[in-house]
Amino acid sequence: MLQLIGFDGDDTLWHSQDYYDAAQAEFERIVGAYIDLADARVHERLLAIETGNIGLFGYGAKGMTLSMIEAAYDVTCGRISAADLHRLVGLGKEVLAHPVELLPGIREAVEAVATTYRVVLITKGDLIHQQAKVVRSHLADLFHRIEIVTEKDPHAYARVLRECEVPPGAFAMVGNSLRSDIAPVVQLGGWGIYMPYHSTWSLEMDTAFSAEDARVVQVTDARGIPEAVALLDRTAATP
Amino acid sequence: MLQLIGFDGDDTLWHSQDYYDAAQAEFERIVGAYIDLADARVHERLLAIETGNIGLFGYGAKGMTLSMIEAAYDVTCGRISAADLHRLVGLGKEVLAHPVELLPGIREAVEAVATTYRVVLITKGDLIHQQAKVVRSHLADLFHRIEIVTEKDPHAYARVLRECEVPPGAFAMVGNSLRSDIAPVVQLGGWGIYMPYHSTWSLEMDTAFSAEDARVVQVTDARGIPEAVALLDRTAATP
């Protein structure tokens, strides 16, 4: 039977990717003044630079901004102006400062789940930005524990479960990323509630995991979460 | 009597400020090609921009780099070249990638303290950079717990002590920053072992706290730590 339910933060509790998408679109407008975006394969080259920097920068808006500056200089062969590079810092600051807007029905869903189970928030990225979003979300008091990690891999989930003294089979994770929220938890022997968001960053698409897995329930929005948890709990209790 | 001993990371376990100082010197060389550093009060203006951005960026090399780009554009009134702004990103990456070099005698000091007390590492800054330094330090196994926080204030220390179930009077913190390592712990009713480093970032100097406090012992290097802990333990045990 389930004991602990994890919730992802970005694009599960609150909107996030939309702000990154807007920054990316503005980045492309800026470098598009110098070069043909398609000819220069700007999208692919930014992604390659971001991917190459993840190990050093980690996830989040500060790393994105530094990668954008690198990419803008690179794809324009150094022809971009200092003023435009400086504008990219402003783009990053806008992403960091954006207001936190909750997804519809998510507060009620977390409250409903928390009446029966311990709930934990497990989010990845920049420590200061994630902490700020937790505060601005006004959801912190609902969670028994808040974990901000650099990478949501089986190792990170196993550590959280060990510290919460919960076996993987008694844990279900709610999130929008098959790669970060669902696959590593199922791999450990846990359960997943997959709630896709309308936009997913390319790097988060990098998984062979299918939502058709028997240990995963897919929901279309937050209102479906409590019922999905109950369904998985019954499944987990069946020998 | 003491139960838990905290150790700071940067410039207590391993060298850190030297790398930031080197980046700052290179930043000044770069903008110095455009303007007179003293006339333009470059040092003060960078510090003001860094201070203004701390709430959004937090501590660490990525925030420093973004603040340097902002400052370089600002102090040169936009005359800096895109190539030089791009070089600043490289400076930040060098700080993030630097090897971890332990302070003399620190491993032996932590090992000695850990034979009698629980030891915890409490460090602030970028999550991914601090985690990487913990790994590269090969000290992680010595600590019962590793806490990476955004700000080392009384609130953060109180949370760690609550989670470790240790009263403040049974906790001593070892560190090089009076502002971040010693003052907030003494304020809570704990004890401090102050080990100054040869270079301190201006922002860390912003404290009225004096190392002459009766709850603080100052040591010149790591070899003095075990004896300082024993001295504080005897003082703490005296009614």
User: pLDDT-based confidence at A222, cuts 50/70/90?
Assistant: very high
pLDDT tens, residue by residue, B81-126: 999 999 999 999 999 999 999 999 999 999 999 999 999 999 998 9
Same-domain status, B40 and B71: yes
Q: Does the pLDDT of residue B204 top 90, yes or no?
A: no
Are A130 and A76 in a shared domain?
A: no
**Which residue, of A50, A72, A97, is where some domain finishes?**
A97
| DSSP category for residue A154 | H
Q: Is the pLDDT of residue B200 over 90?
A: no
Residue of chain A whose alpha carbon sits nearest to that of B89: A66
Instruction: Report the 10 Å Cβ neighbour count for B141.
Output: 6
Residues B196 and B135 in one domain: yes
Instruction: Please give the pLDDT value at position B25.
Output: 96
Average pLDDT (B221-233) is 97
Q: What is the pLDDT of residue A237?
A: 87
Please indicate, yes or no, whether residues A108 and A185 belong to a single structural domain of this protein. Answer: yes
Residues B42 and B134 in one domain: no
Looking up tokens 């401090």 gives: B192
Chain A contact set for B83 (CB, 8 A) = 73, 78
Residues B181 and B194 in one domain: yes
B117 and B82 within one domain: no
Percent of chain A with pLDDT over 70: 100
Between B200 and A131, where is the model more confident? A131
Above 90 in pLDDT, residue A21? yes
User: Of the candidates B46, B69, B97, which is a domain's last residue?
Assistant: B97
Structure tokens at B38: 């003293």
Q: Which domain range does residue B36 map to?
A: 17-97
Task: Categorize the per-residue pLDDT at B205 as very low, low, confident or very high, splitting at 50, 70 and 90.
Answer: confident
Q: Most B CBs within 10 Å: which of A128, A150, A153, as the mutation test of the B interface?
A: A128
Q: Does A192 lie in the same domain as A79?
A: no
* The predicted structure's pLDDT at residue B95: 97
Query: Which pLDDT score is estimated for A140?
Result: 94
Q: How high is the pLDDT of residue A18?
A: 96
**CATH code (residue A233):** 3.40.50.1000
Cβ neighbours of residue B27 closer than 8 Å, sequence gap 6 or more: B46, B68, B71, B72, B88, B91
The answer on A154 and A87 residing in a single domain is no
Listing from the earlier edge strand, what are the strands of the sheet with A216-218?
A: A145-149, A118-124, A4-7, A171-175, A191-194, A216-218
- pLDDT score, position A48: 96
A66 and B63: CB-CB below 8 Å? Answer: no
For A177-207, letters b (16+ CB in 10 Å) and e give bbbbbbbbbbebebbbbbbbbeeebeebeee
Q: What is the pLDDT of residues A166-199, one digit of tens each?
A: 999 999 999 999 999 999 999 999 999 999 999 8
User: How many structural domains are present in chain A?
Assistant: 2
Say which residues have a Cβ less than 8 Å from residue A230's Cβ, sequence separation at least 6.
none
pLDDT tens per residue, range B56-77:
999 999 999 999 999 999 999 9
Question: Mean pLDDT over residues A225-239, rounded?
Answer: 93
Interface test with A, best of B49, B75, B80, B126 (most A CBs within 10 A): B126
Distance from CA of A25 to the nearest CA of B (A): 20
Nearest CA in chain A to B92: A66
Residue B95 near residue B23, CB atoms below 8 Å: yes
Determine the pLDDT at residue A130.
94
The residue of chain A with its CA nearest to that of B163 is A145
Instruction: Give pLDDT, residue B207.
Output: 81
Residue A56 and residue A130 in one domain: no
Please say if the pLDDT value at position B137 is more than 90.
Answer: yes
Partners of residue B63 in chain A, C-beta under 8 Å: 62
Mark whether B9 and B23 lie in a shared domain: no
Tell me, what DSSP letter sits at residue A54? H
What is d(CA A109, CA A107) in angstroms, rounded to the nearest whole number? 5
Q: Could you tell me how far CA A135 lies from the centroid of its own chain?
A: 17
Residue A62 is nearest to which of B63, B70, B86, comparing CB atoms? B63
**Phi/psi of residue B35, each to 5°?**
-145, 165
| Chain A, chain B: beta-carbon pairs less than 8 Å apart | 89
Both B92 and B122 in a single domain? no
**ipTM of the complex, rounded to two decimals:** 0.92
What mean pLDDT do residues A197-203 have? 86
Q: Which of B97, B112, B146 is the last residue of a domain?
A: B97
**Chain B residues touching residue A61 (CB < 8 angstroms):** none
Residue of B nearest to A64 (CA): B62
Q: What is the mean pLDDT of chain B?
A: 95
Q: How far is A84 from chain B (nearest CA, A)?
A: 9
Q: Residue B42 is encoded by which pair of tokens?
A: 């470059």
- Residues A173 and A122: their CA atoms lie apart, in Å, by 9
Among residues A149, A122, A170, A178, the alpha carbon closest in space to that of A6 is found at A122
Nearest-CA distance A92 → chain B (Å): 9
Mutate to test the interface with A, among B126, B128, B155, B159 (most CBs of A within 10 A): B128
Contact B96 A127 (CB under 8 A): no
* Dihedral sign of CA atoms A73, A78, A84, A89 in order: positive
pLDDT band at B176 (very low <50, low <70, confident <90, very high): very high
